[in-house]
Chains A and B, each alone.
Chain A
Amino acid sequence: MSEIYIARSSQIAARVLGGEMMVMSSVDSTFFTLNEVATAIWQAADGRTPLTQIVVRNVCDEFEVDFETACRDAEQFVNELSHHGILLVSDRPFDTSAGPVEAA
């Protein structure tokens, strides 16, 4: 997997309810419920940590999944959320010094 960085868009609303993370785009109102693994990736999406590192630290170690499978699932998850502007993806770290990243 080539190195990519992911950041949560500022144009979303998210809340944990009943142990589940719910995320909605305030742009197109798409609504997602994240499972435990997806929630772990979502919460670690700080714009500065490479996705591979997130997968190793927050998925493989926590959920006992092999790296290859975890990477494949993580890429699929990131692609889907980025398609709706909920997660932002870049090949370099985001500048998050000014707060959450604005969706383009």
Chain B
Amino acid sequence: MVIFGARKSGAAKRLNQSHEIAIEIGGMPVLFRTHDLSFREMMIDRYTGFISFLSRPTLEFEVELVTPSSEMESEEDVQVEMQDGVWHLQRGDFRAQWDPEAGRGHIRQSANPYSVDSVLRIVHSLILAGKGGFLLHAASAIRDNRAFLFSGISGAGKTTISRLAPPDVVLLTDEVSYVRREATSYHACGTPFAGELARVGTNCSAPVATLFLLEKGSENKIEVLNAAEAVRCLLRNILFFAEDAGLVEMIFRSACDFADRVPVRRLTFVPDTRVWDLIV
């Protein structure tokens, strides 16, 4: 098990001078720069365990905080598109640009933690797509130095199985799993993206042993899925926001490669602790 980053500490407070904060997920630090000290403090609280002290971030964002307006409260869906080499990300509550070549970007939002959270998910999904990985709508956990993913739609049991985890299990997330491609395997990394459990994951990683597709039922059982079914379920649960044909094709190839290398199983379970007897 590899441990990333560091826990919130006195050192985090001393870095305050520049009003910068780097959030590291999957070993990839993203720096946010703000003129608002209280916003930075809010982010330190929100991303405890994922604050990075490395001097070389993968990319940097200037965060421009604005007064909330009715326009920013709209239910507008997220839009992500590339124009002239710059990614444009927008939703009702934020507007952001990111130049991947320069490694710099800008976010315009009100002082809330949710907009930055969305930008982080989108940016990581784009970076991962180019590297053969992906963000998966799944809980994940490490047991005996092996990671297990538990994927499914809302209500399938991601939070339930996370809540039932025994003490020897390290929880990576109960909502959005970070899957990174290594040379010949896939690694699951902890994320601060929490679901109903409302608890950030542990910032560590391990090779993925099995992907379980969750289903609640009257008995605990594990069934093998054929490759096509595995890929179909994976594609249904991969988080991807951009309308970009090239990246969509890469996601497809990653899903196929993942299903080829990692066992994918359907896990039907009764919501009690005995289900974890099967996760070995």
Residues of A within 8 A of B (CB): 11-13, 15, 17-20, 22, 24, 26-27, 29, 31, 33
A26-B228 CB under 8 A given contacts A13-B253, A31-B235: no
* Contact A18–B228 (Cβ < 8 Å): yes
Bound CA span A27–B242, Å:
11
- Min CB gap B178→A, angstroms: 21
Stretch of B23-31, B199-207, B243-251 lying at the A interface? B243-251
Partner of A33, one of B228, B246, B248, B260: B228
Contact residues in B for A33 (Cβ distance below 8 Å)? 228, 232
9 tightest A-B CB contacts, nearest first: A18-B227, A26-B245, A17-B227, A33-B228, A13-B249, A13-B252, A26-B249, A24-B252, A26-B248
Bound CA span A11–B247, Å:
12
- Quick one: closest A residue to B259, CB to CB? A17
Bound CA span A27–B228, Å:
20
- Min CB gap B247→A, angstroms: 9
* Contact B232–A27 (Cβ < 8 Å): no
Contact residues in A for B232 (Cβ distance below 8 Å)? 31, 33
Contact residues in B for A13 (Cβ distance below 8 Å)? 248-249, 252-253
- Min CB gap B171→A, angstroms: 31
Bound CA span A12–B253, Å:
11
Contact residues in B for A22 (Cβ distance below 8 Å)? 227-228, 231, 256
Contact residues in B for A17 (Cβ distance below 8 Å)? 227-228, 231, 256, 259-260
Contact residues in B for A26 (Cβ distance below 8 Å)? 245-246, 248-249, 252
Name B's interface SS.
helix
* Contact A20–B248 (Cβ < 8 Å): no
- Min CB gap B141→A, angstroms: 27
Can you report 17 residue pairs joining A to B where beta carbons are below 8 Å apart? A13-B248, A15-B252, A15-B253, A17-B227, A17-B256, A17-B259, A17-B260, A18-B226, A18-B227, A22-B228, A24-B235, A24-B249, A26-B249, A26-B252, A29-B248, A31-B231, A31-B252
Bound CA span A13–B246, Å:
10
Partner of B245, one of A11, A15, A31: A11
- Min CB gap B259→A, angstroms: 6
Contact residues in B for A31 (Cβ distance below 8 Å)? 231-232, 235, 252
New A-B pairs, 6, CB < 8 Å, besides A26-B245, A29-B248 = A12-B249, A13-B253, A15-B252, A24-B252, A26-B246, A31-B252
A15-B246 CB under 8 A given contacts A20-B227, A22-B228, A24-B235: no
- Quick one: closest B residue to A27, CB to CB? B245
Partner of A15, one of B226, B235, B256: B256
Bound CA span A13–B235, Å:
13
- Min CB gap B252→A, angstroms: 4
Bound CA span A22–B252, Å:
10
- Quick one: closest B residue to A28, CB to CB? B248
Interface residues as binary, B211-248 with A (CB distance below 8 Å gives 1, 0 otherwise): 00000000000000011100110010000000001101
* Contact B252–A20 (Cβ < 8 Å): no
- Quick one: closest A residue to B260, CB to CB? A17
Contact residues in A for B245 (Cβ distance below 8 Å)? 11, 26-27
Bound CA span A15–B235, Å:
14
